[in-house]
Amino acid sequence: MASYAVNAGEIAAHDKTLTAATVDTVTLTDAFGAVEVLTDGASAVYVSVDGSTPTVSGAKTYRIPASGTQVRTIALGDGPVSGALIKLISTGTPTYSVTGLRNRTVVVG
């Protein structure tokens, strides 16, 4: 399990590689309203944004499918959230980036 901190004044953790069946955690220190998760599409990635532990194909995770470069924008709640824990898991070893977005309206559904 790898952990990365996006410290005050920073916005992203870039070019991280998941280890198969192992959760990575990205902690966003500053307040963000949403996150953008980019993957290389080598395999599907499952994401939680509420600090819970994601599972592969889990019903409480956001799925980013395998199939070329993929980007998914996920709201963190009703307003900016400080200290958000973004957790990711996959059955493969895709490369990903997590970017915090400020003042962004996201349609969830």
Asked, for residue 36, whether it belongs to a domain, the answer is yes
Q: Is residue 75 part of a domain?
A: yes
Task: Say how many domains are in the chain.
Answer: 1
Instruction: List the one residue out of 88, 87, 89, 84 whose CA is nearest residue 100.
Output: 84
Q: Compute CA 56 distance to the chain's CA centroid, rounded to the nearest angstrom.
A: 14
pLDDT per residue over 9-54, tens digit each? Answer: 999 999 999 999 999 999 999 999 999 999 999 999 999 999 999 9
Output the pTM of the full model.
0.92
106 part of a folded domain: no
CATH of the domain at 74: 2.60.120
For residue 84, the one-letter residue type is: A
108 found inside a domain: no
Is residue 17, in this structure, part of any structural domain at all?
A: yes
Summarize pLDDT for 65-90 with one digit per residue, the tens. Answer: 999 999 999 999 887 899 999 999 99
Residue range(s) defining the domain that contains residue 70: 3-101
